[in-house]
């Protein structure tokens, strides 16, 4: 089998890969056309106007119409490729809202992956076929790059900052995972495998891979051991902001701006708390720089993501993706979210497993900024967190 | 060939040349003659090229097999780092400007020398001091940062001689600033009477554009490398997140120089091709002002596209959009040039001397190099191919297929002017052909490898990539033969080459009006320019009248 030992084109195994290939072939056609054109012209001229055949040259100064022609035509083609590439790029860079999250940590010279259920892998990544997967990536040392050629996507893995990449595998198989940013001695051995498997097999794999506890439950322990509950009590008069239902929403800051609460923001708030002060709070939180490793940070983030209105830990769920920040437009429309009634948190009293202090109903007479969390919508608790396409396949968890 | 037709009578070497005006080591190392300085540069960068080429051959040998069986990983990493650093900073950047540019630019505009001869000499010394630093790092164990010095790898995690190598590059950068400064002032102030801006040969236009880029961009590289040294030496947090820095900031600063730098490398090549093609087509260049302005446009836009190296590095999606758009726009001036060169051959009377063979190879290879840039500029595809062998292939099509081939074209073209003797045609043509074949065999398979997903800088690779790697290594050995041949026959020609005469190719251009080799002050009388550049029309008339 020639293709097996001498492959000339990579396998296509994600929803994006065929789209990337399509644009690739378009540019390839443009390349072949112009290369052939130029080569052909040169060959024809070289033969036809060689000095033996054509001893007296004809002096031509140039031609403005021709210059305009060969400026505008390539420009037009370039703009088509640009627009096409840009549209594709937005698809590549924006994971579907329903995507499940898997964490990847790069270090010299290995990959660690952590599933929200607590399953851990080294240099091997199991993903279900047919479901979008969002990788949240971070490095413990230098810059690495998460590159899966058959998925036609990659992303640099930076130290100190989360980046993300997503893909949806389309066929089961075992594929190369490369580090594609030079990272020192064993850069070329920082390779792994992505195993895409049918959903049922994936579930079985999750169950069989002996997790000690979900990232969120581990994160709860980190939360307690670091003393976070001392201030983040969830009470109205607490020294730290309430963390319930924070993730995926907007937090209002003391400088009047708002920030979308995502993994990067939570990370920054733990390691560099004074960078962004939530409205109505003092800059009193100490930094936890150097006290948490990347694994603990991920667990902590998963824990905070799991804190929802009804206070239930979404443990053992693979998908903890929450509703997107939906009231950005509210702020953009100029509604003062600090006014009572616009920013009150409808914190139910039914917190089943309050990790710290039980959540307290905010006092409606007091100005709301204490909560500092802008709810996605007023009756949000009614909407279960696990709703949405991505959560559906989770099925029964242990 | 052309020599035989033009020079029926036996030619004699001129009595008074820059080569025999004075003798002794001091007459070279303390010279202020731009031609002698150019030769000193030529010898230096040829040695550096040999060194960088050797590194490349060793890398290709290692990549014959998927396993890392020839070198250890650290050694391999040092090989590609030293190949990159030496080839980029000590060969490609100074190659055409400091050698051919230094030699012919003053003559092309009818000047006796560059505006600042002492600064020109200082530039060579600074270049060599920089080279001493970098080579001391190489000799004392090597560097393995990659030529890009990405942080925090370079500032914290490697134990090699990063600071010495970086300082060497920084110091050598001042050499290009000096050269650029000299060219700008010379072009403005020292043109012969009648040499208006639009009578300048296009080689001068391209040197002028490149000089501006050198003067403006190189300081940023110096700053960046100093910051790397500060962080590495004194733990001042700039790029390392553990010290409160931002690793992506380094990439912005590095590419703010290093993207314009690729235009520093290729623009002079455009200049050479714009000289060679009209000469051997016996015809005016097609669209003089389009070619001249496209050089300037490349110089300006070259500053605005640096982040296209960083589409997956964590920059914002919208800024990626802007950089992609600007990258597509900068592709257009290069396309304009290619079309104009091709059109210049139309209805010419084409002579296939070696410089022309290289120039034709240049057009083809640069076209492929340029068009493959579209894959990388297109955001959606770049996400797949960036940092793979596709980039390696694209870069080498532009830098070797483009720049190096243009340099060889120019070197053969002006060799009779530099030495007074012709290179031997048959081996030169053969070497051009071998270079062309070897080059394509080396780098074309790398496009395929890249799209397959083989990452660059891999010492060990999965076995399915082997066949293409073997092809590439085979090509590299052919290419090495093609590139070594000129060294031998050109040295041979110094003694045994045919005597060239003033103008063996019957080219226009003031440098051909003086003797070969020229006298120390270039012209016995200051030339007065009455014609446009590439006025081959009048030249053929003259020849007809005389002959």
Give pLDDT, residue B540.
Answer: 58
Mean pLDDT of chain B: 92
Residue A212 contacts B, CB cutoff 8 Å: no
- Look up residue B173 and give its two tokens: 């950068």
Q: Pick the residue with more confidence: A378 or B242?
A: B242
Give pLDDT, residue A236.
Answer: 78
Give pLDDT, residue B9.
Answer: 57
**Residue A345 and residue A259: Cα distance in Å, rounded?**
17
Q: What pairs with residue A137 in β-bridges?
A: A104, A163
Q: Are B220 and B256 in contact (CB under 8 A)?
A: yes
Residue A384: pLDDT over 50: no
Kindly indicate the confidence band of residue A229, based on its pLDDT and cuts at 50, 70 and 90: confident
**Residue B475 and residue B437: Cα distance in Å, rounded?**
8
Decide: helix, strand or coil at residue A16. Answer: coil
Decide: helix, strand or coil at residue B293. Answer: helix
- Look up residue A99 and give its two tokens: 């995507």
Residue B251: pLDDT over 70: yes
Domain total for chain B?
1
Dihedrals φ, ψ of B448, to 5°? Answer: -65, -45
- Chain B interface test: which of A77, A159, A186, A267 (most B C-beta within 10 Å): A159
- What digits encode the pLDDT tens for the residues B506-540? 999 999 999 989 999 999 888 999 888 898 887 65
Residue A285: pLDDT over 70: yes
- What digits encode the pLDDT tens for the residues B298-331? 999 999 999 999 999 989 999 999 999 999 999 9
Q: Are A120 and A113 in contact (CB under 8 A)?
A: yes
Mode of pairing for the β-strands spanning A110-114 and A120-122:
antiparallel
Q: What is the mean pLDDT of residues B10-18?
A: 84
Nearest-10 crossing angle of helices B73-87, B34-62: 150
Residues in chain B within 8 Å Cβ distance of A143: 150, 152-153, 247, 313
Asked, for residue B22, whether it belongs to a domain, the answer is no
The percentage of residues in chain B with a pLDDT greater than 70, rounded to a whole number, is 97
Q: Which CATH number does the domain housing residue B261 bear?
A: 1.20.210.10
Task: Note the pTM of the prediction, 2 decimals.
Answer: 0.86
Residue A168 contacts B, CB cutoff 8 Å: no
Q: What is the mean pLDDT of residues B160-174?
A: 93
Phi/psi region, residue B526 (left: phi>0; alpha: psi -120 to 50; beta: rest), is: beta
Asked, for residue B533, whether it belongs to a domain, the answer is yes
The percentage of residues in chain A with a pLDDT greater than 90, rounded to a whole number, is 46
**Residue B361 and residue B482: Cα distance in Å, rounded?**
14
Asked, for residue B87, whether it belongs to a domain, the answer is yes
Number of separate helices (H) and strands (E) present in chain A: 8, 13
Q: Are A371 and A362 in contact (CB under 8 A)?
A: yes
Give pLDDT, residue A5.
Answer: 63
Q: What is the mean pLDDT of residues B157-165?
A: 91
Q: Are B380 and B358 in contact (CB under 8 A)?
A: no
**Of A207-221, B45-59, B197-211, minimum mean pLDDT range:** A207-221
**Residue B56 and residue B62: Cα distance in Å, rounded?**
10
Residue B335: pLDDT over 90: yes
Give pLDDT, residue A324.
Answer: 35
Domain range for B480:
34-546
Residue B357 contacts A, CB cutoff 8 Å: no
With DSSP H G I counted as helix, E B as strand and the rest as coil, what are the percentages for chain B, rounded to 5?
70, 0, 25
- Chain A interface test: which of B254, B384, B534 (most A C-beta within 10 Å): B384
Residue B152 contacts A, CB cutoff 8 Å: yes
Asked, for residue B27, whether it belongs to a domain, the answer is no
Decide: helix, strand or coil at residue A253. Answer: strand
Residue A39 contacts B, CB cutoff 8 Å: yes
């Amino acid at each position: 089998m020639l293709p097996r030992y001498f492959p000339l084109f990579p396998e296509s195994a994600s929803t994006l890969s065929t789209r990337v290939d399509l644009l690739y072939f378009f540019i390839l056609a443009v390349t072949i056309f112009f290369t052939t054109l130029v080569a052909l012209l040169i060959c024809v001229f070289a033969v036809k106007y060689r000095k033996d055949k054509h001893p007296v040259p004809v002096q031509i100064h140039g031609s403005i119409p021709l210059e305009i022609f060969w400026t505008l035509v390539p420009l037009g083609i370039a703009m088509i490729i640009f627009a096409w590439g840009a549209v594709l790029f937005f698809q590549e860079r924006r994971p579907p809202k329903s995507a499940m999250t898997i964490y990847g940590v790069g270090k010299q010279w290995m990959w660690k992956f952590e599933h929200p259920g607590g399953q851990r892998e080294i240099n091997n990544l199991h993903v279900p076929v047919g479901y979008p997967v969002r990788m949240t990536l971070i490095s413990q040392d230098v810059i690495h790059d998460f590159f899966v050629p058959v998925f036609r996507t990659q992303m640099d893995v930076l130290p100190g900052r989360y980046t993300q990449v997503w893909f949806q595998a389309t066929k089961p198989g075992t594929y190369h995972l490369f580090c594609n940013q030079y990272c020192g001695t064993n850069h070329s051995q920082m390779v792994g495998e992505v195993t895409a498997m049918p959903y049922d097999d994936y579930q079985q794999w999750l169950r069989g891979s002996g997790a000690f506890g979900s990232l969120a439950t581990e994160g709860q322990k980190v939360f307690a051991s670091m003393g976070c509950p001392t201030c983040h009590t969830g009470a109205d008069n607490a020294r730290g902001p309430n963390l319930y239902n924070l993730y995926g929403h907007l937090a209002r800051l003391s400088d009047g701006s708002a920030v979308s609460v995502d993994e990067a923001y939570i990370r920054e708030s733990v390691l560099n708390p004074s960078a962004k002060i939530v409205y109505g709070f003092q800059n009193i939180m100490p930094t936890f720089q150097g006290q948490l490793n990347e694994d603990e940070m991920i667990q902590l983030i998963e824990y905070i993501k799991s804190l929802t209105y009804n206070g239930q830990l979404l443990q053992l769920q693979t998908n903890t993706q929450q509703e997107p920040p939906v009231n950005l437009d509210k702020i953009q429309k100029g509604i003062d979210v600090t006014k009572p009634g616009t920013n009150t948190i409808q914190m139910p009293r039914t917190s089943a497993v309050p990790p710290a202090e039980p959540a307290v109903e905010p006092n409606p007479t007091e100005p709301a900024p204490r909560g500092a969390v802008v709810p996605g919508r007023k009756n949000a608790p009614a909407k279960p967190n696990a709703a949405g396409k991505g959560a559906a396949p989770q099925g029964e968890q242990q | 060939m052309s020599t035989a037709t033009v020079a029926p009578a036996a030619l004699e070497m001129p009595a008074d040349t820059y080569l025999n005006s004075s003798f002794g080591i001091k007459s070279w190392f303390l010279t202020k003659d731009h031609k002698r300085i150019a030769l000193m540069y030529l010898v230096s960068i040829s040695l550096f090229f040999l060194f960088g080429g050797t590194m490349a051959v060793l890398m290709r040998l290692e990549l014959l097999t998927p396993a890392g069986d020839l070198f250890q990983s650290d050694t391999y990493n040092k090989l590609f780092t030293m190949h990159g650093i030496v080839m980029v900073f000590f060969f490609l950047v100074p190659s055409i400007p400091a050698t051919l540019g230094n030699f012919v630019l003053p003559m092309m505009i009818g000047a006796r020398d560059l505006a600042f001869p002492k600064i020109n000499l200082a530039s060579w010394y600074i270049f060599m001091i920089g080279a001493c630093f970098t080579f001391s790092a190489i000799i004392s164990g090597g560097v393995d940062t990659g030529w890009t010095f990405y942080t925090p790898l370079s500032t914290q995690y490697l134990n090699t001689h990063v600071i010495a190598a970086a300082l060497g590059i920084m110091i050598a950068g001042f050499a290009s600033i000096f050269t650029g400064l000299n060219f700008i002032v010379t072009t403005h102030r020292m043109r012969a009477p009648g040499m208006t801006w639009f009578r300048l040969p296009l080689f001068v236009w391209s040197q002028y554009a490149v000089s501006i880029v050198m003067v403006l961009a190189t300081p940023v590289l110096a700053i960046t490398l100093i910051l790397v040294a500060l962080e590495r030496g004194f733990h001042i947090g700039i790029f390392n997140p553990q010290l409160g820095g931002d690793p992506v900031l380094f990439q912005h600063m590095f590419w703010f120089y290093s993207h314009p730098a690729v235009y520093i490398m290729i623009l002079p090549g455009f200049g050479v091709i714009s000289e060679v093609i009209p000469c051997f087509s016996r015809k005016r260049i097609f669209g003089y002002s389009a070619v001249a302005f496209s050089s300037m446009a490349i110089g300006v836009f070259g500053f605005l596209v640096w982040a296209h190296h960083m589409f997956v590095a964590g920059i914002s999606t919208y800024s990626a959009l802007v950089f992609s758009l600007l990258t597509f726009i900068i592709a257009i001036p290069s396309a304009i040039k290619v079309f104009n060169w091709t059109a210049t051959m139309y209805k010419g009377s084409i002579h296939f001397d070696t410089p022309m063979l290289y120039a034709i190879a240049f057009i083809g290879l640069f076209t492929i190099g340029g068009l493959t840039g579209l894959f990388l500029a297109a955001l959606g595809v770049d996400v797949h191919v960036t940092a793979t062998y596709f980039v390696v292939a694209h870069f080498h099509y532009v830098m070797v297929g483009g720049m190096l081939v243009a340099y060889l074209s120019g070197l053969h073209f002006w060799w009779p002017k530099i030495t007074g003797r012709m290179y031997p045609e048959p081996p030169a043509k053969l070497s051009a052909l071998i270079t062309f074949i070897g080059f394509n065999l080396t780098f074309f398979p790398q496009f395929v490898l890249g799209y397959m997903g083989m990452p660059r800088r891999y010492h060990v690779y999965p076995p399915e990539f082997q066949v293409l790697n073997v092809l590439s290594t085979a090509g590299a050995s052919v290419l090495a033969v093609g590139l070594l041949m000129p060294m031998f026959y050109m040295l041979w020609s110094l003694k045994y080459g045919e005597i060239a005469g003033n103008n063996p190719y019957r080219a226009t251009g003031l440098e051909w009006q003086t003797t070969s080799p020229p006298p120390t002050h270039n012209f016995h009388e200051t030339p007065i320019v009455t014609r446009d550049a590439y006025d081959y029309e009048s030249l053929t008339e003259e020849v007809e009248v005389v002959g």
